Structure 1
Amino acid sequence: MQRIALLFLILGLNCIAAGAAEHSTACGSMQLAYYELGTLYYRHADGSYTGIDKDVVEEVAKRSGCKFDTVLESRVRIWTQLKNNTLDMSVSGIPTPEREKFAEFIPYFSTRNYILLHRDMPVHGLSMAGFLNDANLKVAVIKSFKHGPKFDEWLEKLWAQKRVYEASDIDSLLRLFLARRVDAIIALPTVWQPLLKKEEINKQVHLFDWAPQDSIVHGLIVSKERVSKARRDLLRKAIYSMADDGTLEQIFTRHMGSKLAQELRYDGPRF
């Protein structure tokens, strides 16, 4: 009887080991593109990279058994490659009906945009309506960014009056603002939080929350064509487990502080 029990124990352990091995290899490798932006993905002084997205991806790899071959790309090239089915995944993307035709989005944080104005902005320009009513005031945005319902409606009116500048990245956006070619820029906390830590920038700007009701969901962007549903389900399960056990909030806190980390928490539907 002892030999039989021992045999069953060995067989059971072998099954567990085989199952673990299968889990670790079943997902395989996927190419994932990062892009540099604020606290999402940024470079240390020594040249190494860190950020919310990097920490999220590394934890997803541990929990899903998936391996990610990562590259650094521009946002424009990332969206082009995803649309053309030449890239598997990217990070912190905002779903739209057009994008959801070729990609599935797995949400892991939600936030909203704020407005940064020059400190000497006239009083009438400190509100959304007042800014809109002054034909001399201009705003800059990053190309291809989505800004939430309230800001997008406001920007549409400014576009019609040719009062919007487009920048290719955050550095170009900031240069437009500091050179006073524009009077305002729109940014998420993941962008303005590190900017306002710099004294030379902090002393020049006012930060306003013009759209507190807006919520912009960000998620992993996964190609529907190149990544099977089974692998997408593994990624989704990993993200949700990270939300449930507090890992996501720990990551946000590490890069943003506890107050803003709570603002980034995603409490929306799971699908």
Structure 2
Amino acid sequence: MQATLLQKLTAEFIGTSLLLATVVGSGIMGVELSAGNDGVALLANAAATAGALYVLIVLFGPISGAHFNPVVTLAMRARGEMSSEAAASYIVVQVGAAIVGVVLAHAMFGVALIQPGDHVRSGGSQWLSEAVATFGLLLTILLGIRHRPAAVPALVACYIFAAYWFTASTSFANPAVTVARALTRTFAGIRPDDIPGFIVAQLVGALAALAVSHVLAGPSVEGPATSTQNQSLRPATKRVSREFSPSARR
């Protein structure tokens, strides 16, 4: 049975808010328990995020596609797999839900609900890191849903876990996450002034991933979407399986 737009948006809201609660909450807990060891705190943060991503993609992929990320939604729109109206609704919900997730994490740990970020994340190395992180994430999704659709939840979770460690920015790779994490001064935060550079880098990485996936795998197997088409990713029949089209991150 095809999910309604309301059901899809509800899935995106719950999934994105829980993802951000995991990112920020595990960062707080990691710092509290690591006795000043940033490596241990980052390991806890990365592991919790990857674990939550796997669960959330499995649960919400068949309903909404489990994007949780505006660049994933824009990529699906560019591939003709959803309408402009649905894509715009997804992005609004993702940004709002990400903010709710940050506030929820703060509430669970008894800290100020809104804390303008003060963690400096700026400069060429940070921007390059975000472009690379987003490129890898989106390429993982686009090639994964073409060749190994059932493995996409694990593929995305593993990629994000690795990208926490091999990128200088710790792999935000998600504009909604970037905006929301500017509202926390915790381990996961970012200065509001650094948001534009991150988002531009993420969009550049996403465009590169779209181009490369087109070269490697060809255009999407789907035709142009209509406003009533279900853009959540379904199990395969005779065509390529598209059960999951997640987002990620962080």
Q: Same fold (TM over 0.5)?
A: no
Q: Work out which of the two has the higher radius of gyration on C-alpha atoms and give 1 or 2.
A: 1
With the length of structure 2 as denominator, give the TM-score of the two structures.
0.25
Is the strand fraction higher in 1 or 2? Answer: 1
Q: Highest relative contact order (Cα 8 Å, sep 6+), 1 or 2?
A: 2
With the length of structure 1 as denominator, give the TM-score of the two structures.
0.23
